[in-house]
């Protein structure tokens, strides 16, 4: 046998190339599995070439490191064939590890195909020497080299598959794995070389045509390293680009998500908006139809929210809304929908078993919203009115269901607020009635259906009469006498309040003129102004003209505006009130105590009178809190030099208590109900000559 020797530095080189080729293979496997579409094919093709070339050149450098005592060369065609085998088996390996899964069976088949392929490359490469006589292979070492090739291929496939995803230390793992894989490839090669035995007298058939081995080694090493390096660099650059693209794509996805969220949610409270509610309502109706189940649609409208907004501004109003929204949201079930559908309007969609469940839920909501809210140091209180519609039953379509819940909510308001009301069919009749009422109101002035009643105001405790408050009534041809609570809100909404208000002012002044002419020169007449009238540009001129028309001194007229009207736009209100004050007209702040006046502002108001809201007076006897509020208001009024009027006095206990507290003027059913001008004179003369108890008897009779 010929004795062979190895060039150690070339052996080392072959080992390094094997490691680098393994690393490239692992990297390519990662690229192929993350690339998409055609890019994946390109990566597979390029990766297979780089990796195949790497493995092959490892093998070839290993061959070059080997020398025999006879001249040696390599047949180019057979060598090229061995390169082709290397590239083809690399392509197969890369394709295999870029699949979604790699079950054990597939791994085994892969290893059984790849191992022989690599061995095939090796032994084809050996055949390129064209030795005569042929190379003899030692069977056990030959089998061992084949076994190493199969096991190394299996291990390489498994590692490549598991390291293909980008993760924290993937490069480090790959480097380690590349060393192990490189060692396996080199092991296979040199085991195969060790198996080869060259009989004495062998000649290499390719020696003459072959190229100088040392030069060939240098060229192959350089080319291989260059190809592997370029492949790795492109891979890293591409990965960076892909990472950037994926960042862009994910921020685009986020922006899209945000846009969808904004389109379906209220920006202030973050609750679903009307659009999302409609969607959920549609789903709830379908689910209820399918499962024979029920749900409640509740329409919530806050009571007293406007007053907060007027007194403290939108900023505080917004914070209050946010807090109320959060309270509701955190107290209903996750699967229920609570949406904000208007300024202070919310809609709750809740699955229920029985209508009684809706009542329980509504009760809970009332309780929640009643709790005071502290916003920016102010303790605010609002309540809510709830209308409930049940599906199925109270409407077949979304629109109908919502309208009916809304109608029921108006009923809750009419029942005195802070309560809930289930929808009932006759309520719809009311809606039509309201529309009819608007129609009728248009012609009410022209048809002389409006009249004024007058309620006397008394010097505390029981007289003399100091004046009267004019209170509007509508003598409806079909429905009889309608009270202002029933039509003033409509007049306000439709703007009709402006001409109606002008009529009231004119009529009240005409009456006052008549009374003055009859000798009641100390009386004053009080006229209520609605918010819309108060902010109407013509107000000052109208008042001036009306007084002039009836030849009345301004001090005979008191204009009553509610506390919340005065607070709506503080500076604008002040400007108007100052003009009225300069004219000499008296100003009363009506329903005092229900709004949120600030003391500072109250000091600047040119008011002459404070009217304590009749709500406080009503509960005086059994509610110590109300008593405390009334005495505080009286004390406040006295400091500010305002005349204090208590309205709604119904019992002599209230009369005595209010007098003791220091109220200047009393007004109420006990002393005199609102009556027509004719009866007013009758009543007043009776009161003037009788005790309060008799007066009550007169009123009742
Ligand atoms: P207001 O200005 O607070 O008027 C007092 C209301 O209390 C009147 O109701 C009166 O009848 C009622 N009242 C008087 N004494 C008692 C009492 O002892 N017990 C009880 N429970 N109630 C008493 P009315 O006439 O129904 O008026 C309701 C509201 O309608 C008025 O409240 C006022 O805000 C508005 N209003 C009435 N007339 C006019 C008007 O001409 N123009 C405007 N803009 N609003 C008006
Ligand atoms: Ca009033
Ligand atoms: Ca009042």
What's the pLDDT score for residue 690?
Answer: 44
Confidence of residue 623 (pLDDT cuts 50, 70, 90): low
Residue 530 CB–ligand 1 contact under 6 Å: yes
| Structure confidence by residue, pLDDT tens digits, 298-329 | 999 998 888 888 888 889 999 999 999 999 99
Classify residue 435: in a domain, yes or no. no
Residue 481 CB–ligand 1 contact under 6 Å: no
Confidence of residue 687 (pLDDT cuts 50, 70, 90): low
Q: Are residues 586 and 548 in the same domain?
A: yes
Given a contact cutoff of 8 angstroms between Cβ atoms, the answer to whether 420 and 362 are in contact is yes
Atom of ligand 1 nearest to the CA of 529: 44
Mutate to test the pocket of ligand 1, among 450, 451, 484 (most ligand atoms within 8 A of CB): 484
Residue 658 CB–ligand 1 contact under 6 Å: no
Residue 645 CB–ligand 1 contact under 6 Å: no
> Whose Cα sits closest to atom 21 in ligand 1?
648
What's the pLDDT score for residue 696?
Answer: 45
Here the CATH number for the domain that contains residue 314 is 3.30.70.270
Strand partners, 526: 469, 558
Cα(543) to centroid of ligand 2, in Å?
A: 17
Classify residue 525: in a domain, yes or no. yes
Give the Å distances, CA to CA, from 456 to 581, 626, 654, 673, 682.
23, 24, 17, 7, 12
Strands 586-592 and 557-562: parallel
Q: Which residues, 6+ apart, have CB-to-CB distance to 235 below 8 Å?
A: 27, 28, 31
Atom of ligand 1 nearest to the CA of 670: 18
Strands 665-667 and 643-647: parallel
| Structure confidence by residue, pLDDT tens digits, 58-85 | 888 888 888 888 888 888 888 889 889 9
Structure tokens at 341: 């559908």
Q: Are residues 188 and 95 in the same domain?
A: yes
> Closest ligand to 648 CA?
1
Classify residue 257: in a domain, yes or no. no
Taking residues 96-112, what's their average pLDDT?
A: 87
Mutate to test the pocket of ligand 1, among 647, 649, 654, 668 (most ligand atoms within 8 A of CB): 647
Burial environment of residue 276 by CB neighbours within 10 A (0 to 12, 13 to 18, 19 or more): middle
Q: Which range is least confidently modeled, 151-155, 207-211, 467-471, 673-677?
A: 207-211
- Indicate whether 569 pLDDT > 80: no
Q: Last residue of a domain, which of 425, 445, 472?
A: 425
What's the pLDDT score for residue 213?
Answer: 66
Q: Which residue has the higher pLDDT, 162 or 330?
A: 330
> Closest ligand to 565 CA?
1
Here the CATH number for the domain that contains residue 545 is 3.20.20.450
> Closest ligand to 452 CA?
1
Residue 309 CB–ligand 1 contact under 6 Å: no
Classify residue 116: in a domain, yes or no. yes
CA nearest neighbour of 285 among 375, 359, 170, 389: 389
Classify residue 254: in a domain, yes or no. no
Q: How many domains does the chain have?
A: 3
Q: Are residues 121 and 228 in the same domain?
A: yes
Cα(526) to centroid of ligand 2, in Å?
A: 8
Q: Give the separation between CA 324 and CA 418, rounded to whole angstroms.
A: 14
Confidence of residue 597 (pLDDT cuts 50, 70, 90): low
Q: Are residues 388 and 295 in the same domain?
A: yes
Q: Are residues 36 and 81 in the same domain?
A: yes
Q: Are residues 590 and 649 in the same domain?
A: yes
DSSP H or E stretch at residue 373: strand 373-375
b/e sequence 313-350, b meaning 16+ C-beta within 10 Å: eeebbebbbbbbbeebbeebeeebbbbbbeebbbbbbb
Confidence of residue 622 (pLDDT cuts 50, 70, 90): low
Look-up of token digits 């090493």: 221
> Whose Cα sits closest to atom 45 in ligand 1?
528
Cα(613) to centroid of ligand 3, in Å?
A: 5
| Structure confidence by residue, pLDDT tens digits, 15-33 | 888 888 888 887 877 777 7
Cα(281) to centroid of ligand 1, in Å?
A: 41
What's the pLDDT score for residue 692?
Answer: 46
Q: Are residues 365 and 312 in the same domain?
A: yes
| Structure confidence by residue, pLDDT tens digits, 476-501 | 988 889 899 888 988 888 888 999 99
> Closest ligand to 503 CA?
1
CA nearest neighbour of 295 among 387, 369, 394: 394
What's the pLDDT score for residue 290?
Answer: 93
- Domain span holding position 114: 5-238
| Structure confidence by residue, pLDDT tens digits, 279-292 | 999 999 999 999 99
Cα(461) to centroid of ligand 2, in Å?
A: 20
Confidence of residue 263 (pLDDT cuts 50, 70, 90): confident
Strand partners, 350: 296
Q: Are residues 134 and 279 in the same domain?
A: no
> Whose Cα sits closest to atom 35 in ligand 1?
484
| Structure confidence by residue, pLDDT tens digits, 152-200 | 888 888 888 887 776 667 778 888 888 888 888 888 888 988 888 888 8
Q: Last residue of a domain, which of 238, 263, 289?
A: 238
Q: Are residues 193 and 53 in the same domain?
A: yes
Residue 58 CB–ligand 1 contact under 6 Å: no
Cα(560) to centroid of ligand 2, in Å?
A: 6
Residue 471 CB–ligand 1 contact under 6 Å: yes
Atom of ligand 1 nearest to the CA of 472: 38
> Whose Cα sits closest to atom 25 in ligand 1?
471
Q: How many C-beta atoms surround the C-beta of residue 223 within 10 A?
A: 12
Residue 649 CB–ligand 1 contact under 6 Å: yes
Atom of ligand 1 nearest to the CA of 452: 41
Cα(664) to centroid of ligand 3, in Å?
A: 16
Burial environment of residue 600 by CB neighbours within 10 A (0 to 12, 13 to 18, 19 or more): exposed
What's the pLDDT score for residue 37?
Answer: 76
Residue 484 CB–ligand 1 contact under 6 Å: yes
Residue 650 CB–ligand 1 contact under 6 Å: yes
> Closest ligand to 591 CA?
3
- Indicate whether 240 pLDDT > 60: yes
Residue 95 CB–ligand 1 contact under 6 Å: no
Residue 463 CB–ligand 1 contact under 6 Å: no
| Structure confidence by residue, pLDDT tens digits, 347-393 | 999 999 888 889 999 999 999 999 998 988 888 889 999 999 999 88
Q: Are residues 299 and 162 in the same domain?
A: no
What's the pLDDT score for residue 600?
Answer: 65
Mutate to test the pocket of ligand 1, among 444, 528, 612 (most ligand atoms within 8 A of CB): 528
Taking residues 126-144, what's their average pLDDT?
A: 89
Cα(559) to centroid of ligand 2, in Å?
A: 9
- Indicate whether 694 pLDDT > 50: no
Atom of ligand 1 nearest to the CA of 483: 26
| Structure confidence by residue, pLDDT tens digits, 629-643 | 788 888 888 888 899
Residue 488 CB–ligand 1 contact under 6 Å: yes
Q: Which residue has the higher pLDDT, 471 or 310?
A: 471
Q: Last residue of a domain, which of 425, 444, 463?
A: 425
What's the pLDDT score for residue 697?
Answer: 41
- Indicate whether 582 pLDDT > 90: yes
Classify residue 444: in a domain, yes or no. no
Q: Are residues 420 and 466 in the same domain?
A: no
Classify residue 246: in a domain, yes or no. no
Mutate to test the pocket of ligand 1, among 414, 416, 471 (most ligand atoms within 8 A of CB): 471
Cα(504) to centroid of ligand 3, in Å?
A: 17
Classify residue 263: in a domain, yes or no. no
> Whose Cα sits closest to atom 11 in ligand 1?
674
Q: Give the separation between CA 596 and CA 565, rounded to whole angstroms.
A: 11
Q: Are residues 478 and 602 in the same domain?
A: yes
- Indicate whether 527 pLDDT > 50: yes
CA nearest neighbour of 243 among 21, 30, 20: 30
Q: Which residues, 6+ apart, have CB-to-CB distance to 590 below 8 Å?
A: 528, 560, 561, 562, 563, 611
Helix, strand, coil percentages, rounded to 5, for the chain: 60, 15, 25
Residue 455 CB–ligand 1 contact under 6 Å: yes
| % of the chain with per-residue pLDDT over 90 | 33
Residue 593 CB–ligand 1 contact under 6 Å: no
What's the pLDDT score for residue 424?
Answer: 85
Residue 418 CB–ligand 1 contact under 6 Å: no
Given a contact cutoff of 8 angstroms between Cβ atoms, the answer to whether 112 and 147 are in contact is no
What's the pLDDT score for residue 298?
Answer: 95
Q: At what angle do helices 355-370 and 314-331 cross, to 10 degrees?
A: 140
């Amino acid at each position: 046998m010929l004795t062979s020797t190895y060039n150690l530095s070339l052996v080392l080189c072959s080992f390094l190339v094997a490691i680098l080729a393994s690393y490239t293979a692992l990297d390519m496997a990662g690229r192929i599995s993350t690339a998409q579409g055609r890019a994946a094919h390109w990566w597979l093709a390029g990766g297979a070439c780089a990796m195949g070339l790497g493995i092959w050149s490892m093998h070839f450098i290993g061959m070059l490191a080997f020398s025999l005592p006879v001249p040696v060369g390599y047949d180019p065609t057979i060598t090229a064939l061995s390169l082709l085998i290397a590239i083809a088996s690399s392509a197969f390996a890369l394709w295999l590890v870029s699949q979604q899964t790699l079950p054990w069976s597939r791994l085994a088949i892969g290893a059984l195909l790849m191992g022989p392929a690599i061995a095939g490359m090796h032994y084809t490469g050996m055949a390129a020497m064209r030795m005569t006589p042929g190379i003899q292979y030692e069977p056990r070492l030959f089998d061992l080299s084949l076994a190493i090739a199969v096991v190394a291929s299996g291990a390489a496939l498994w590692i490549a598959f598991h390291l293909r995803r980008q993760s924290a230390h993937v490069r480090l793992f790959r480097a380690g794995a590349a060393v192990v894989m490189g060692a396996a490839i080199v092991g296979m090669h040199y085991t195969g070389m060790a198996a080869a035995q060259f009989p004495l007298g062998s000649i290499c058939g390719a020696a003459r045509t072959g190229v100088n081995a040392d030069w060939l080694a240098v060229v192959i090493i350089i080319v291989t390293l260059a190809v592997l390096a370029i492949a790795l660099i492109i891979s890293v650059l591409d990965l960076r680009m892909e990472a950037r693209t994926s960042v862009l794509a994910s921020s685009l996805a986020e922006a899209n998500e945000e846009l969808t969220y904004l389109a379906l949610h209220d920006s202030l409270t973050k609750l679903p908006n009307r659009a999302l509610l409609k969607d959920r309502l549609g789903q709830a109706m379908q689910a209820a139809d399918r499962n024979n189940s029920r749900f409640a649609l509740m329409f919530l409208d806050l009571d007293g929210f406007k007053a907060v907004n007027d007194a403290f501004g939108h900023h505080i109003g917004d914070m209050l809304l946010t807090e109320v929204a959060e309270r509701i949201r955190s107290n209903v079930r996750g699967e229920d929908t609570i949406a904000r559908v208007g300024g202070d309007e919310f809609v709750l969609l809740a699955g229920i078993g029985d209508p009684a469940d809706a009542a329980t839920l509504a009760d809970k909501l009332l309780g929640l919203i009643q709790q005071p809210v502290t916003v920016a140091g102010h303790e605010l209180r609002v309540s809510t009115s709830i209308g409930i519609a049940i599906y199925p039953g109270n409407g077949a379509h979304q629109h109908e269901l919502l309208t009916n819940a809304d109608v029921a909510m108006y009923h809750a308001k009419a029942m005195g607020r802070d309560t809930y009301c289930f929808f009932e069919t006759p309520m719809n009749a009311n809606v039509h009635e309201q529309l009819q009422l608007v129609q009728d109101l248009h012609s009410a002035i022209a048809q002389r259906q409006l009249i004024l009643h007058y309620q006397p105001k008394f010097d505390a405790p029981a007289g003399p009469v100091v004046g009267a408050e004019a209170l509007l009534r509508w003598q409806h041809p079909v429905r009889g006498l309608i009270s202002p609570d029933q039509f003033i809100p409509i007049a306000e909404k439709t703007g009709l309040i402006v001409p109606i208000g002008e009529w009231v002012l004119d009529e009240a002044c005409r009456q006052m003129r008549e009374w003055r002419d009859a000798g009641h020169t100390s009386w004053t007449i009080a006229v209520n102004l609605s918010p819309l009238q108060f902010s109407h540009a013509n107000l000052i001129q109208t008042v001036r003209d009306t007084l002039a028309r009836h030849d009345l001194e301004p001090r005979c007229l008191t204009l009553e505006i509610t506390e919340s009207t005065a607070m709506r736009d503080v500076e604008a209100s002040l400007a108007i009130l100052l003009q009225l004050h300069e004219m000499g007209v008296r100003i009363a702040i009506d329903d005092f105590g229900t709004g949120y006046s600030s003391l500072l502002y109250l000091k600047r108001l040119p008011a002459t009178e404070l009217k304590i809201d009749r709500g406080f007076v009503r509960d005086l006897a059994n509610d110590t809190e109300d008593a405390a509020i009334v005495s505080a208001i009286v004390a406040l009024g006295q400091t500010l030099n305002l005349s204090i009027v208590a309205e709604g006095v119904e019992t002599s206990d209230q009369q005595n208590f209010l007098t003791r507290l220091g109220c200047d003027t009393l007004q109420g059913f006990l002393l005199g109900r609102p009556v027509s001008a004719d009866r007013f004179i009758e009543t007043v003369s009776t009161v003037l000559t009788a005790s309060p108890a008799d007066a009550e008897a007169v009123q009742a009779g």
